[in-house]
């Protein structure tokens, strides 16, 4: 609950001025999908391309957030919700600072993702669904987490004993099972161009 003594301060250096300086718009690009669906790989690869264009970017990654900002949270439904709320608020602040913010989180619940969408101005939340079946994601189980969840060593693991709710109407769907990474990167970059978030002729 917000304190009645808290007053939000608007910056004199506005988001619009920062965007003008950066020569691109700042947005939140929210990659969602099962563990192993390629969210982090795609987010960091897209960031690499944007960086080469001179864009100001940052990737908020699930494991990194759990190390610090959300280190006190479990994987219960309530704590997952709070984790996503915190990430959304941080992403909003970074967006206000002129950054193209990419997030790579399972974020399994539709309502939680929609809460983040609602705290951002219309059009500033770009949901990208990294689509891959549970079978495919389990076959990519680099960390061995699915195997441990199947063995009962990890509880409330998304896709095993906790649900994943696929987006109903994402801005973009990337088929990470059948598409090469390069094609997925191009698809995301072309989408950002189509929305005039990045404009090549103004890239640094």
Whether residue 6 is contained in a domain is answered as: no
Any idea what the CATH number is for the domain that residue 170 is in?
Answer: 3.40.50.300
Tens of pLDDT, residues 108-155: 999 999 999 999 999 999 999 999 999 999 999 988 999 999 999 999
Whether residue 101 is contained in a domain is answered as: yes
Tens of pLDDT, residues 40-54: 999 999 999 999 999
Tens of pLDDT, residues 84-103: 999 999 999 999 999 999 99
How many domains in the chain? 1
Residue 158's domain comprises: 15-198
Whether residue 83 is contained in a domain is answered as: yes
Whether residue 140 is contained in a domain is answered as: yes
Whether residue 10 is contained in a domain is answered as: no
Whether residue 88 is contained in a domain is answered as: yes
Instruction: Select which of 71, 107, 184, 194 is catalytic.
Output: 107
**DSSP labels, the chain:** ---TT--PPPPSS-HHHHHHHHTB---EEEEE-STTSSHHHHHHHHHHHHHHTT--EEEEEHHHHHHTTTTT--SSHHHHHHHHHHHHHHHHHHHHTT-EEEEE-----HHHHHHHHHHSPTT-EEEEEEE--HHHHHHT-TTSHHHHHHTTSSSS-BTTTB-----SS-SEEEETTTS-HHHHHHHHHHHHHHTTSB-GGG--
Whether residue 87 is contained in a domain is answered as: yes
Annotated active-site residue 162? The verdict is: no
């Amino acid at each position: 609950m917000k304190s009645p003594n808290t007053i939000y301060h608007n910056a004199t250096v506005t988001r619009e001025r920062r965007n003008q300086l950066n020569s691109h718009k700042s947005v939140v690009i929210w990659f969602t999908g099962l563990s192993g669906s390629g969210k982090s790989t795609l987010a960091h690869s897209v960031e690499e391309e944007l960086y080469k264009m001179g864009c100001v970017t940052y990737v908020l990654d699930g494991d990194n957030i759990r190390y610090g900002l959300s280190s006190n949270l479990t994987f219960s439904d309530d704590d997952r919700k709070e984790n996503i709320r915190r990430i959304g608020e941080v992403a909003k602040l970074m967006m206000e600072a002129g950054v193209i913010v990419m997030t790579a989180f399972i974020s399994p619940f539709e309502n939680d993702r929609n809460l983040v969408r609602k705290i951002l101005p219309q059009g500033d939340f770009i949901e990208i669904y990294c689509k891959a079946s549970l079978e495919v994601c389990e076959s990519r189980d680099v960390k061995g987490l699915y195997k441990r969840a199947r063995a009962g060593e990890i509880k409330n693991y998304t896709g095993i004993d906790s649900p994943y709710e696929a987006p109903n109407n994402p801005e973009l769907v990337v088929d990470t099972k059948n598409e090469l990474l390069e094609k997925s990167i191009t698809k995301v970059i072309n989408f950002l161009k189509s929305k005039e978030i990045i404009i090549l002729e103004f890239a640094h």
